[in-house]
Amino acid sequence: MLPQGHLSVSALLLVALALAAAVDAKHQAREGYVLVKTNGRSVPGADDEGEVGSGGWRKMKIKDNKNWEAKSQGFEVEPDWKLQISVTPNDPAWSSISATMNKIQAPLAWDIHTGSSTVTVCVIDTGIDLSHPDLVGNLDVTDNHLNAIGGSTISGTTITGTVGLTADDDNGHGSHCAGTIGGVGNNGVGVAGVSWGVKLIACKFMDSDGSGYTSDATDCIKWCRSKGAKITSNSWGGGGSSNALNTEIGISNAAGHLFIAAAGNENTNNDVTPTYPANYDQANIITVGASDSNDNRASFSNYGATSVDLFAPGVSIYSTYKNGGYAWMSGTSMATPHVAGAAALLWSLAPQLSAADVKAKLMSTVDLVPGLSTSCVSGGRLNLLKLLQSVASESVPTPTPTPVPTSVPVPMPVPVPTPVPVPTPVPVPAPTPLPRSVPRGNGRGTGRKMAM
């Protein structure tokens, strides 16, 4: 019998799955796996497949549910939720709708600043096309990461120099997001991202179908943080609540990093029906909804007066794609990288800002529009120009000129002529007659030695 107040790992798993099914049938978990907070204890009846993130969670493969239920107790356990990209297919119903950089006044913002590689954005997604001509200039191709995909056993393996393991995008979604964040600008090729010069790195945890798991997403956050990425772009969701994932985002919060998250594409109110990771209660999360070209909430976009922070263009967005291509896509997945790129642009212009400062400025400089007034906390849509203007004067201070003393003319002295002395006549004595036998002189004067 178990101590009162404790459930076995399997029992907790069953409860968690039952609750998830009751809330939303879309939630799916990795079969045969759970995440367990072990607190240093061994878990009988399961294979330990390694640490997940930095919060003390581990991924366990269940050997035998019945034996495990009998032997295990007192552990905190949760499903390894299945997560998916937050993209909506660009079907003909949206073909006439276009959201462009002009909507957020990006061209005018670029007159102030176009971005810098001093800020790194980690795209946690399906990977990035590592050889795309419009991305490679900003992409650190030597420092990308592949986490476990489809239940494989390569979690935590760095792909640099490893044959067969690659963070290259086989879906297209991650490359599309990367192009919006930091497609190389002013290069005569394809598109320009929000931040032309940002440094991009990729952590691939979703497969060619656009699906991955909580455990691998959690590891990606840890990896991105270890690589110095101050911003992660997260255009995915769909699983139930995960303490493991929430804890890892909180660790990034404490480290001063921003987590930009898609609000979701179910046309639901996140205040009422939470979606994760967007709804975790962490100060560093910026949740983004999708707006259309008329500054209305996109028909598919989730919303929430207290749970969605701001909106950005997310309908018919043209950006980079896999295999060196380009594509039109729609979704809160497309809105999220606009904000990730904006955060990078602002931070490279004003590196003295904290993560909280960047978030506050993103929200306080939106365009307030009627169509979004009750759909998010800020009541508006991203405006890149206003964002940069809010710090431009303080980021590049005008030096105070050193006072130059006014010159007062000094009168030139009037030369006073030096009087020429008049020689006093010296009386010449009368010559004494000399005897004839004495010569008159040798003919040489005394002379004066001349200085050379």
Q: What is the pLDDT along the chain (452 residues), one digit of tens a residue?
A: 333 333 343 443 443 344 344 334 456 777 778 888 877 777 777 877 877 877 778 887 877 654 455 345 677 888 887 776 654 433 332 233 334 688 999 888 988 999 999 999 999 999 999 999 999 999 876 666 555 333 332 333 333 333 345 788 999 999 999 999 999 888 878 888 999 999 999 999 998 889 899 999 999 999 999 999 999 999 999 888 999 999 999 999 999 999 999 999 999 999 999 999 999 999 999 999 999 999 999 999 999 999 999 999 999 899 999 999 999 999 999 999 999 999 999 999 999 999 999 999 999 999 999 999 999 999 999 999 999 999 976 644 333 343 433 333 334 444 444 444 444 444 444 444 433 333 333 333 333 333 33
- pLDDT tens readout for residues 80-135: 877 766 544 333 322 333 346 889 998 889 889 999 999 999 999 999 999 999 99
Is 395 assigned a catalytic role?
no
Q: How far is CA 25 from CA 17, 19, 91, 214, in A?
A: 10, 10, 25, 17
Is 125 assigned a catalytic role?
yes
32-48: burial string, b at 16+ Cβ within 10 Å, e else? ebbbbbbeeeebebbee
- Select from 225, 217, 200, 251 the least CA-distant residue to 56: 251
Q: What is Dmax (Cα atoms) for the chain?
A: 160
In the set 80, 125, 134, 168, the catalytic residue is 125
Alpha-carbon gap, residue 182 to 319, rounded angstroms: 10
- Determine contact, residues 64/101, Cβ cutoff 8 Å: no
In the set 333, 348, 375, 390, the catalytic residue is 333
Is 173 assigned a catalytic role?
yes
CA atoms within 13 A on the CB side of 301: 34
Please report the pLDDT score of residue 43 as a whole number: 75
In the set 173, 176, 257, 338, the catalytic residue is 173
String of DSSP letters for 232-298: EEE-EE-B---HHHHHHHHHHHHTT-EEEEE--SS--BTTTS--BTTTS--TTEEEEEEE-TTSSBP
Alpha-carbon gap, residue 234 to 232, rounded angstroms: 6
